[in-house]
C-alpha cells in the first residue's frame, strides 16, 4: 500500500504586508485643544496640580493609543466629553444650584455620556479596519497653510476676539415648542417665580423669554366657562338640562320614537329625553 503525499503547511492567517508603521505622532495643536477642554484647577493651585490634570489626560490618550489622525480625533473627543460630563454633574450638585439648573446639568451630562459611548464604538470599528498606507503630501501642507493664513478671518473669529460690532441683546425669545425638556423645566420655574413674586433665576447672559409662536394653537384656545361648573351626573339631569350643560345644539332628524322602549317614549313625550 503506497503512502499518501505529505500535506503542505497552511499559509498564515495574517500574512505580513510590509514593515510595521511607526507610532503615530499626534499634532501639538490637537494636544493643546484637548488640554483646553480639561477641568481647570484653581487659580492659586500650584503648578504640580496643573501638571497632574495634563498628565491624567495624556495617560488616557496613551491608553486609547490612536494609530492615525481619525483615531486621534475620536480619542480626544472621548477625553473632552468625559471632562465635560464630570463638570456638568459637579455643577448639578453645587449647594446654590436650583432644581431647574440641576435638571439641565444632569441632562447635559447624560448627553455627553451617550456621546462617549458613540465615540468608543466608532473607535473600536476603526481599529478593526486594516491600516491604510501613509500618503506623501509633499509640499501641500506648507502651500495650504500659507493660503489659509492669507485668507481674511471669518466673522466667528472676530466675535471670539471681542471685536464684534453687534452688541449682545438684552433679551432672547425662544419658542416653547422648540426647546428640550430641561429648558422647558427652566421656563416653568421662571414663570412660577414671576407669578409668585420671587426673585428670578440667576443668569449670566441675556434674559431668555419663552413664548408661543404667533400661529400656535395656544392663541386659538378659549376656555369654556361651563367647564368650571360641578357635574351633577348624567342621570340626575333632564334632556334640556343635559343639552345645555354639554352644549348639544343638534337640531337635525332623529330616529322615530317607535324605536324606543315604552318608558323612553313616555319620557320623550314629557320632554325628559
pTM over 0.85: no
Residue 79 has a pLDDT of: 94
Q: What is the pLDDT of residues 68-83, one digit of tens each?
A: 889 999 999 999 999 9
Q: Which run of H or of E encompasses 22?
A: none
Q: What is the pLDDT of residues 204-259, one digit of tens each?
A: 777 788 888 887 777 777 777 777 888 888 888 887 888 888 888 777 777 777 88
3-state secondary structure (DSSP) of residue 174 = strand
Q: How far apart are CA 133 and CA 147, in angstroms?
A: 27
pLDDT band per the 50, 70, 90 thresholds, residue 15: very low
- The torsion angle over the Cα atoms of residues 186, 191, 197 and 199, rounded to 10 degrees, is 20
Q: How far apart are CA 38 and CA 86, in angstroms?
A: 10
Q: How far apart are CA 43 and CA 46, in angstroms?
A: 9
Q: Which run of H or of E encompasses 243?
A: helix 239-246
Q: What is the pLDDT of residues 91-131, one digit of tens each?
A: 999 988 888 888 889 999 999 999 999 999 999 999 888 88
Q: What is the pLDDT of residues 124-177, one digit of tens each?
A: 999 888 887 777 778 888 888 888 788 887 765 545 555 555 566 778 888 887
Amino acid at each position: 500500500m503506497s503512502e499518501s503525499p505529505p500535506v503542505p503547511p497552511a499559509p498564515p492567517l495574517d500574512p505580513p504586508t510590509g514593515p510595521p508603521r511607526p507610532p503615530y505622532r499626534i499634532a501639538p495643536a490637537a494636544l493643546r485643544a484637548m488640554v483646553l477642554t480639561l477641568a481647570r484647577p484653581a487659580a492659586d493651585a500650584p503648578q504640580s496640580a496643573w501638571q497632574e490634570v495634563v498628565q491624567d489626560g495624556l495617560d488616557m490618550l496613551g491608553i486609547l493609543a490612536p494609530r492615525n489622525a481619525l483615531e486621534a480625533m475620536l480619542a480626544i473627543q472621548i477625553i473632552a466629553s468625559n471632562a465635560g460630563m464630570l463638570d456638568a454633574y459637579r455643577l448639578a450638585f453645587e449647594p446654590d444650584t436650583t432644581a431647574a439648573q440641576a435638571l439641565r446639568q444632569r441632562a447635559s451630562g447624560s448627553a455627553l455620556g451617550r456621546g462617549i459611548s458613540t465615540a468608543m464604538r466608532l473607535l473600536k470599528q476603526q481599529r478593526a479596519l486594516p491600516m491604510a498606507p501613509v500618503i506623501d503630501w509633499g509640499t501641500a501642507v506648507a502651500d495650504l497653510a500659507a493660503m489659509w493664513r492669507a485668507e481674511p478671518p471669518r466673522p466667528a473669529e472676530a466675535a471670539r476676539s471681542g471685536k464684534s460690532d453687534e452688541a449682545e441683546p438684552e433679551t432672547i425669545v425662544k419658542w416653547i415648542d422648540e426647546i428640550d425638556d430641561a429648558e422647558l423645566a427652566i421656563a416653568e420655574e421662571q414663570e412660577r417665580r414671576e407669578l409668585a413674586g420671587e426673585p428670578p433665576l440667576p443668569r449670566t447672559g441675556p434674559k431668555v423669554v419663552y413664548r408661543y409662536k404667533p400661529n400656535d394653537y395656544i392663541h386659538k384656545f378659549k376656555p369654556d366657562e361651563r367647564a368650571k361648573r360641578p357635574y351633577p351626573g348624567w342621570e340626575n339631569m333632564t334632556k334640556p338640562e343635559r343639552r345645555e350643560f354639554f352644549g348639544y345644539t343638534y337640531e337635525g332628524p332623529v330616529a322615530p320614537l317607535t324605536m324606543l322602549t315604552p318608558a323612553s317614549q313616555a319620557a320623550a313625550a314629557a320632554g325628559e329625553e
